[in-house]
Amino acid sequence: LAQLAAALQRFGRSAPPRASADRPAVTLADLKAALDAGQVKPYFQPKVDVRTGVVKGVEALARWLHPQLGTIAPDLFIPMAEQGGLIHELTLSIAEQSCAQAARWNRHGLRLSVAVNLSPLLLDADTFVGEASTLLEHHALAAEQVVWEITESSVVANLGAALGTLARLRLKGFGLSIDDYGTGFSSMQQLARIPFTELKIDRSFVSGASDRHHLRVILQSALDMANRLNLVTVAEGVETIEDWRLLQDFGCALGQGYLIARPMPGDDLPTWLRQHTQHLRALREGRVHGR
Ligand code: C2E
Ligand code: MG
Ligand code: MG
Ligand code: MG
């Protein structure tokens, strides 16, 4: 396992970070035009089995591929879309592109679950559950292959709307993930009312947790609780071998982070995956040794 982690670290780090404009001056009208022009796209970050290194799924993360300014990060334009009334359209676009991508991978024998982030504003939209189901039909996907991620803080802030919409999504068969767990001040009593299938620990409890006692305690407690509730446990922000080993010790099911791979365009994933798989095989056969 140590060798696996060492190899993954070398491998994950070999992908250079993509250029990103820090705080570019863009307007809502620019964003609308970019959506119409297909310049807002999902990048995909692998979610990996912490024991075996096998890729189980991906998370779709929105990128604005601006022709002049380069790649713009979602922290800049998601709030803009939320405030400017574009978040519904943006979410459906990212979900549509992600389902299309998953269907293409399926046709190549690659069955990966795809997670899409859901703004709390969508929880209020009574059309959303129907639109989500239509997407599946268009791409002949099973609902089980799609997971909606919703942050803990937005669930708590919108419990009434969240309950109804999330329960209906779950009834359709979609997976439901609590994102950024540990930062939202929810009570168990609140979360237990929603039929979540997965819990993602916020990266502030993952990156660098091994040498910080209180982070380790929180991480282990959250994982124990989620495992006992039969939720799929995911850790985001896995950056180092030490983070990875801690997750193995604490029984976390899946890990996601720069140690394994950065978010990448969908077309790059098959090549990345082939190399990753060769790497795992070489490790199993003892042909590669960790440092
Ligand atoms: P998130 O859903 O919690 O996604 C995880 C973020 O952590 C991503 O940032 C990802 O690139 C980053 N990350 C992954 N591994 C590591 C790591 O090892 N270390 C560190 N430091 N960071 C890591 P990104 O792509 O910039 O997205 C930021 C946030 O924007 C997301 O947080 C999500 O809340 C939101 N977002 C992204 N795409 C969408 C979308 O399509 N719709 C909505 N509503 N929100 C989105
Ligand atoms: Mg997420
Ligand atoms: Mg998260
Ligand atoms: Mg986050």
Q: What is the pLDDT of residue 22?
A: 59
Taking the CA of 61 as reference, the closest ligand is: 1
Whether ipTM exceeds 0.90? yes
Burial class (CB in 10 A: 0-12, 13-18, 19+), 208: middle
Our answer on whether the CB atom of 257 is closer than 6 Å to any ligand 1 atom is yes
pLDDT in tens, 128-149: 999 999 999 999 999 999 999 9
pLDDT in tens, 219-264: 999 999 999 999 999 999 999 999 999 999 999 999 999 999 999 9
Our answer on whether the CB atom of 119 is closer than 6 Å to any ligand 1 atom is yes
* Contacts with 271 (C-beta within 8 Å, 6 or more apart), sequence order: none
pLDDT in tens, 261-288: 999 999 999 999 999 999 888 888 887 6
pLDDT in tens, 176-232: 999 999 998 888 888 888 999 999 999 999 999 999 999 999 999 999 999 999 999
Is a pLDDT exceeding 70 seen at residue 175?
A: yes
Our answer on whether the CB atom of 239 is closer than 6 Å to any ligand 1 atom is yes
Q: Whose CA is nearest to atom 20 of ligand 1?
A: 237
- Atom number, ligand 1, closest to the C-alpha of residue 116: 41
Distance 126 CA to ligand 2 centre (A): 22
Q: What is the 3-state secondary structure (H, E, C) of 163-226?
A: HHHHHHHHHHCCEEEEEEECCCCCCHHHHCCCCCCEEEECHHHCCCHHHCHHHHHHHHHHHHHH
Is a pLDDT exceeding 80 seen at residue 291?
A: no
In this prediction, residue 3 has a pLDDT band, given cuts at 50, 70 and 90, of: low
pLDDT in tens, 120-133: 999 988 899 999 99
Q: What is the pLDDT of residue 14?
A: 42
Our answer on whether the CB atom of 17 is closer than 6 Å to any ligand 1 atom is no
pTM: 0.92
- Atom number, ligand 1, closest to the C-alpha of residue 75: 30
- Atom number, ligand 1, closest to the C-alpha of residue 118: 44
Distance 78 CA to ligand 4 centre (A): 13
Region 89-97: mean pLDDT is 98
pLDDT in tens, 44-90: 999 999 999 999 999 999 999 999 999 999 999 999 999 999 999 99
Distance 285 CA to ligand 2 centre (A): 34
Report the number of secondary-structure helices (H) and strands (E) in the chain: 11, 10
Q: Whose CA is nearest to atom 27 of ligand 1?
A: 74
Q: Which of 236, 238, 240, 244 to mutate to test the pocket of ligand 1 (most atoms within 8 A of CB)?
A: 236
